[in-house]
Amino acid sequence: MRYALLLPDNRYLAACYEATGSGILITDKAEDACTYVTLEKALAVAQAVAPNMSQVPCVVEVNH
């Protein structure tokens, strides 16, 4: 089981490796989302990115 971060508008957080920007990408596809092995890590990331987002992400289980 893995965990992803989901925004209230049903979009997921993914990593963006561009030289500029926040490093956060928003995607409609669950398969493109960053995933975490532990619930604790997913919660820590959600807490870390929340100040930079206009929405607070929630942690959801994913099966991919």
Q: What pTM was computed for the model?
A: 0.85
Please compute the mean of the pLDDT values over residues 21-27 and round it to a whole number. Answer: 82
Task: Flag whether pLDDT at 37 surpasses 90.
Answer: yes
Cα-Cα end-to-end distance for the chain: 8
Residue 2: per-residue pLDDT:
95
Residue 64 has pLDDT above 80, yes or no: no
Whether the predicted pLDDT of 32 surpasses 80? yes
58-62/24-27 β-pairing:
unpaired
Mean per-residue pLDDT of the chain? 90
Q: Please say if the pLDDT value at position 22 is more than 80.
A: no
pLDDT at residue 18, as a whole number: 77
